[in-house]
Structure 1
Amino acid sequence: MRALDWAADEARIRDRGLRVVHAFEWPMRRVAARGAPGFDPDDFARRILDDARERAGARTPEVAIEPVYVDGDTVPVLLTQARDAEVLVMGSRGLGTLGSAVLGSTGTRLAAEAACPVVVVPSNADGPRSGRIVVAVDGSPASMAALDWAFTVAEDHEATLAVTMVCDDPPSLFAGPLAKAAYRGPSESERAAAQEIARELLVEATGPGREHHPGVRVTEVVVAGHAARRLIREAEDADLLVVGSRGHGGFAGMLLGSVSQSVLTHSTRPVAVVRAPRD
């Protein structure tokens, strides 16, 4: 229910309606019904929606709530429902045996394929809002799309935007152009020079956003290390971590990108995935 709460709050802040969707395809539907007399899958689904509508309505009574139940495969149904949405919000099922969030193939596909940004809210995400949003930038088209979206969200929330670049040591094969441009070598002085260059590049990258959203407080953060781990650490007290999706292949995990995939799997804070603009 953390995802429902997050979505209701976001609808209130943005002055938007909230569509609550329950999609499920019951396997062997008729056989299951015969084996459980009195069990009605449709009634069960509607009770889930009724509970969700009651919870969201109590939390944000000013938000118009539209419950939708579709008997069908989850991913196609949600992708269709999200075509005209500003954001698709979903939950992850807590922590798995290795301490990572159980996102599953459904979440991975939605984050990779949805036409709008996708926010994944872990079930253990808790605590008051900090007024801080972290966005990962490396100069790639997807990260610049994420930066543009993050500026809008930060303005809506009156939050500080921490624009963050992680300099791999050395840069990975798929590192963005800003991260590659900042890299100077493994020595202490070279790393210091790289971080200074990275800050200058971030200031330049945030220029358009500052111009269009002059009220947003912006900080530039440059750190070195493993990209996903450092981003998760930087966002430990953040309301939201925003990353881009810029895959290099035809499978959902590859379309999502290794850093975004890892962040979604391990972060205990809500994560937004923003797709790169299509050519």
Structure 2
Amino acid sequence: MFVQKSFSGPQQNGAGTLYLVGTPIGNLEDMTFRAIRTLKEVDLIAAEDTRQTRKLLSHFEIATRLVSYHEHNKQASGSELIRLLQEGQSIALVSDAGLPAVSDPGADLVAEAVEQGIFVVPIPGANAALSALIVSGLPTERFMFAGFPPREKKSLAKWLLQLHAQEGTLMLYESPHRLRKTLEAILEHLGDRRIAMVRELTKRFEEMARGTVTECIAWIEEHPPLGEYCLIIEGSISDENTGELAAAWWVELSMEEHVQHYEAELGRKDAIKKAATDRGLSKRDVYNEVNR
């Protein structure tokens, strides 16, 4: 059992404090006064990309020593940072944008610090996923952050199927060059749900595209994706009569397998129509998918 009282004075074990400092997600004015003060006062700043962070420090005239901590050096660098914390130094951990330790190697450093009885203090700031959620127009009472989708097609399908029954709004990140493939996979495995595609948050070209998955696919055909995206997706809808999640026996089937399930009995045309009804899609969408 380890109870941390962040503002009770120096730690009895003589260790320093690890501060998790939120940084701008686009606009430099996302930075808080507390974040700037903390970065000036700590002994050391550990950054995901020192080149990116150096620009931020220069803008706010912060001269604190800067070191690198990222996915590829986290074992060696992490051990050294823990040693310095145990010796009493205070360290601020920052990511390239937003809150550190969210889909970020900083989570490993935090876990080790907690294991060693070192205080970990949050310095809140901007977060892309939550910012996108609150402007999406979708429910915010319950939500789930899912991070980055898998790249490989089969892994992506399995990942989406695991999310299919989630009733809360889904939040995930995607790169512009993978956006279309991910939207098509969402359409196939989750159905034509309401969605918000949010990009360039707090920057000059901030944009929110809201509609169904089908409408968003059509939008990016006319407007090629630019910048990193936050996708906010409607959660699974409960059956009004039973209060339970609507049965979806077909969720593990591909579109072609779904159509084949009905084909022997109904024929190809009606099988496509039936599969479209199951998934909440148009007949044209299903037809195009199975006839590529």
Output the TM-score relative to the length of structure 2: 0.28
Output the TM-score relative to the length of structure 1: 0.29
Higher relative contact order (CA 8 A, sep 6+): 1
